DNA sequence: CGGCGATCCTGCCGTGGATCAGTTCATACT
DNA sequence: AGTATGAACTGATCCACGGCAGGATCGCCG
C-alpha cells in the first residue's frame, strides 16, 4: 500500500509510521511537477531564492566545482530524495545539482515547507531522520576517501548504491540498473577516470563485480562487502521508530 | 541577552527567532548534567540504546575506526553541538565520540527529544537546520579530502574551525585556543602526522598561520582563505529565516 | 556509407604523500 | 639532576595514483 505513494513517502515510512493525513500532506507537496533535461543543472552554486525539489524519477548528482576545474561529486540522488534542501535553509546554494538522466521532480516552495514543519511535526521528525541518513552517507563517503584505497573505495561505493536502490525497490543484491559513467565514478571517488577504469577491471577480473554502462552486476556480495568493510547498519532500519 | 542562555540556544538563535517558551524548552533539555574525562569515549560504534548529549563545555571528536587500526575523524564538536543525534535516530551508533578535553554535557533521552519535536515544531525546524549545517561541514570536509592537496586542506580546516568558534564567541579572525594535537589533525585530514607537521611548518614559514599546542594564530587571513578556496557562505547566516 | 563524439581501455612516467627510522624539545615525575 | 613520556620535527625511500598520449569500440547523424 505504501507503494501506491511517492518514493518519498515510501522512504519516510521506514522511519515514522505515517498516518493518512501525513500522507495527504506529502501528496500536496507534489503538486508542481517539473521536468529537467540531462546536463542542464537545476541548482547552481551561489544561487539564492532557490526552490526545493523532491526527486520523483531519474538520477541526479550534487557536486562542487573547484577553481582548477576539477569537481567533487558529493552524492547521487535517486527517487525519493530531496534536492537542494540545504540551499533553502541557508538561502544560498553551496553546490550544483545536475540531472544524469531525464528527471521528474516536484517543486516545493520555502513557505510550504516551513508550514509543513509547523503543521505536521511528525513529518518534520521524519525529515530530520532523512537528513541524518543523508549525512551518514556523506560521512561514509568521507571515510572512504580519507582512509580507503581506490579498490576498497570503489567497492564500498557500489555496495552503498546497491543498498539504497534496494530500499526503494530498484535493485537487488545481484545488481542494479545504473546510468553512471566511469567519469562520474571518478568525480565521486576522488580518483582519475583512468584509475577508475583500472580498478573496475581488477574488480571484474577478481570476480567481484562488473560495471558496464547501464548495468552493475555484483558477482560476489560477501567478498565485496569484506573488501570494502561495508557495514549496512547506517542504511538499514528495522521498522519505524515513531509509531 | 542570548548569551545568558546555553551555546545551543545561541546557535539555534541564528536560524529561528526563539521565543521565551522555546528557550524554556531548551533549558529543560539541560537538566541531566554529565562530566566526561579526556579519552574516555562516550559513544561507541555499534552501541545501541544510546542517549544524545548536548555539549556544554569542552571539545570532542567523532571518528570511525578502520580494520587496519587507522581512524578517520569526521568532525570536531564544540559547545552547542549535539553528540550522537544520528545514533538515536538510527538506534545504533555508527561512530565513536571521544572527549579531547574535560567535557560537560547534558544527557537528553530519546523520548524527551521526540516529545520536544512534537511539542515545539519551531525547535524541530531549528534542529533540522543545525543538522543541515553539520552536513554542509561534512561535505566541505569531503571536498577537501577529495580535491584539495595537503596545504589547501589544512588551511581550509583551520579557517573553518576559526569561523565556527567565532560564531559561538570563542575565537576571532586572528586565532583561537585549540586543544588539538598534530595527530588529531592527521586523523581528520586523512594525512600522516609526519606530513601534517611539514605542512604546518610551510604555513608558518609562509607567514600564513601558526599552529601550536593550545593556540592557533592566523597571520594572514586573506591569503589563507585564497589558498584554501575558503567560502564562508555555508557557515554564515544573515539573520533568522523564521521570525 | 563515413565521420564524429562519447566512452572505455592501456602503457609509461612523474609525483605527492606514506612509511620508516630516527632526533630534538618540553613538561612531569622521582 | 636524572629519567620518562609524549609531542614536534626531519631525512631517505617507496608506492599508489595522476597525467598524458594513443587506440579501440560504439552509437548517432548526415
Are residue B116 and residue B70 in the same domain, yes or no? yes
Each residue's pLDDT tens digit, B25-61: 999 999 999 999 888 888 988 888 888 999 999 999 9
Cell numbers at A125, concatenated: 521528525
Are residue B118 and residue B161 in the same domain, yes or no? no
**The last residue of a domain, from among A133, A160, A195:** A133
Are residue B83 and residue B153 in the same domain, yes or no? no
Residue A161 placed within a domain: yes
Residue A125 placed within a domain: yes
**How many structural domains is chain B composed of?**
2
For residues A142 and A214, the answer to whether their CB atoms sit within 8 Å is no
Are residue A14 and residue A119 in the same domain, yes or no? yes
- pLDDT value for A1: 46
- Which residues neighbour strand C (beta carbon < 7 Å)? A 181-183, 193-194, 197-198, 200-201, 212-213; B 149-151, 190-192, 194-195
Gap from B43 CA to D13 C1', in Å?
Answer: 40
Please name the residues between 217 and 236 in chain B that touch chain A, using a CB distance below 8 Å. Answer: 229, 231, 233-234
Each residue's pLDDT tens digit, A200-237: 999 999 999 999 888 999 999 999 999 998 876 655 55
**The last residue of a domain, from among B92, B124, B156:** B124
Are residue A103 and residue A22 in the same domain, yes or no? yes
Q: Checking DSSP bridges between strand A60-65 and strand A96-99, what pairing results, if any?
A: antiparallel
Residue A80 placed within a domain: yes
Are residue A154 and residue A122 in the same domain, yes or no? no
CATH of the domain at A10: 2.60.120.10
Beta-carbon separation of A145 and B141 below 8 A: no
- Of the candidate ranges A129-133, A238-242, B143-147, the one whose mean pLDDT is the lowest: A238-242
- pLDDT value for A2: 46
Interface probe with A: pick from B66, B88, B89, B187, most Cβ of A within 10 Å = B89
A1 shares contact with chain B (CB less than 8 Å): no
Confidence band for B107, pLDDT divided at 50, 70 and 90: very high
Each residue's pLDDT tens digit, A22-36: 999 999 999 999 999
> In angstroms, what separates the C-alpha of A78 from chain B's closest C-alpha?
18
Residue B1 has pLDDT above 50, yes or no: no
Confidence band for A4, pLDDT divided at 50, 70 and 90: low
Contact residues, chain B, for A94 at CB < 8 Å: 136, 139, 231, 233-234
For residues A126 and B122, the answer to whether their CB atoms sit within 8 Å is no
- pLDDT value for B111: 86
Nearest CA in chain A to B231: A94
Each residue's pLDDT tens digit, B185-234: 999 999 999 999 999 999 999 999 999 878 999 999 999 999 988 876 65
Contact residues, chain B, for A184 at CB < 8 Å: none
Are residue B224 and residue B186 in the same domain, yes or no? yes
Are residue A129 and residue A152 in the same domain, yes or no? no
CATH of the domain at B167: 1.10.10.10
Residue B78 placed within a domain: yes
Are residue A35 and residue A114 in the same domain, yes or no? yes
Nucleotides of C under 7 A from a protein CB: 6-11, 16-21
Residue A143 placed within a domain: no
Nearest to A139 by CA among B189, B92, B75, B80: B75
Are residue A102 and residue A76 in the same domain, yes or no? yes
For residues B162 and B225, the answer to whether their CB atoms sit within 8 Å is no
A70 shares contact with chain B (CB less than 8 Å): yes
Contact residues, chain B, for A233 at CB < 8 Å: 46, 90, 92, 94
Residue B241 placed within a domain: no
Other residues' Cβ atoms within 10 Å of the Cβ of residue A154: 28
Are residue A169 and residue A117 in the same domain, yes or no? no
Contacting residues for B182 by C-beta, under 8 A, at least 6 apart? B193, B196, B197, B200, B211
B183 shares contact with chain A (CB less than 8 Å): no
Residue A195 has pLDDT above 80, yes or no: yes
Are residue B173 and residue B88 in the same domain, yes or no? no
Contact residues, chain A, for B114 at CB < 8 Å: 125, 242
- pLDDT value for B2: 46
Residue B142 placed within a domain: no
Domain that holds residue A175: 148-234
**The last residue of a domain, from among A108, A133, A158:** A133
Nearest CA in chain A to B188: A146
Three-class SS state of A92: strand
Other residues' Cβ atoms within 10 Å of the Cβ of residue B163: 18
In the 8-state DSSP scheme, what is residue B231? -
Give strand letter and number of the nucleotide nearest B196 (CA to C1'): C17
Each residue's pLDDT tens digit, A99-131: 999 999 999 998 888 888 888 888 888 888 888
Nearest to A229 among B15, B66, B71 (CB): B66
Residue A239 placed within a domain: no
Residue A242 has pLDDT above 70, yes or no: no
> Which stretch of DSSP H or E encloses residue A183?
helix A182-189
Beta-carbon separation of A95 and B139 below 8 A: yes
Each residue's pLDDT tens digit, A218-227: 999 999 999 9
- pLDDT value for A237: 54
Residue B242 has pLDDT above 80, yes or no: no
- pLDDT value for B235: 55
Amino acid at each position: 500500500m505504501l507503494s501506491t505513494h511517492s518514493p518519498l513517502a515510501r522512504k519516510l515510512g521506514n522511519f515514522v509510521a505515517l498516518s493518512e493525513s501525513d500522507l495527504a500532506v506529502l501528496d500536496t507537496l507534489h503538486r508542481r511537477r517539473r521536468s529537467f533535461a540531462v546536463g542542464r543543472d537545476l541548482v547552481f552554486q551561489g544561487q539564492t531564492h532557490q526552490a526545493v525539489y523532491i526527486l520523483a524519477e531519474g538520477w541526479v548528482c550534487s557536486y562542487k566545482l573547484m577553481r582548477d576545474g576539477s569537481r567533487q561529486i558529493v552524492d547521487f540522488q535517486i527517487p525519493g530524495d530531496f534536492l537542494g534542501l540545504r540551499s533553502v535553509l541557508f538561502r544560498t546554494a553551496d553546490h550544483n545539482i545536475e540531472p544524469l538522466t531525464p528527471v521528474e521532480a516536484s517543486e516545493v516552495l520555502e513557505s510550504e515547507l516551513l508550514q509543513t514543519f509547523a503543521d505536521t511535526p511528525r513529518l518534520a521528525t521524519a525529515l530530520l531522520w532523512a537528513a541524518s541518513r543523508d549525512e551518514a552517507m556523506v560521512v561514509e563517503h568521507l571515510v572512504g576517501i580519507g582512509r580507503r584505497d581506490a579498490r576498497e573505495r570503489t567497492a564500498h561505493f557500489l555496495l552503498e548504491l546497491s543498498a539504497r536502490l534496494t530500499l526503494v525497490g530498484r535493485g537487488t543484491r545481484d545488481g542494479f540498473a545504473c546510468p553512471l559513467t566511469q567519469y562520474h565514478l571518478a568525480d565521486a571517488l576522488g580518483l582519475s577516470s583512468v584509475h577508475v577504469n583500472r580498478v573496475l577491471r581488477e574488480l571484474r577480473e577478481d570476480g567481484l563485480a562488473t560495471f558496464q554502462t547501464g548495468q552493475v552486476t555484483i558477482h560476489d556480495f560477501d567478498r565485496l562487502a569484506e573488501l570494502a568493510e561495508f557495514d549496512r547498519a547506517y542504511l538499514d532500519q528495522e521498522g519505524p521508530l515513531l509509531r
